[in-house]
Amino acid sequence: MSLHRVTLRFSDEADASMVTGEWTTEETARTTFRRWIGLYGSGMATIRFEVHDDDGSTVVVDTWPAST
Per residue in 46-60, pLDDT (tens digit) is 999 999 999 999 999
What was the pLDDT predicted at 67? 64
Residues 5 and 28: beta-carbon distance below 8 Å: no
Range 23-30, long-range pairs (CB < 8 A, 24+ positions): 26/2, 26/51, 28/4, 29/4, 29/5, 30/4
User: Per-residue confidence at 13, pLDDT binned at 50, 70, 90?
Assistant: confident
Per residue in 26-46, pLDDT (tens digit) is 999 999 999 999 998 888 889
Q: Rounded mean pLDDT of the chain?
A: 90
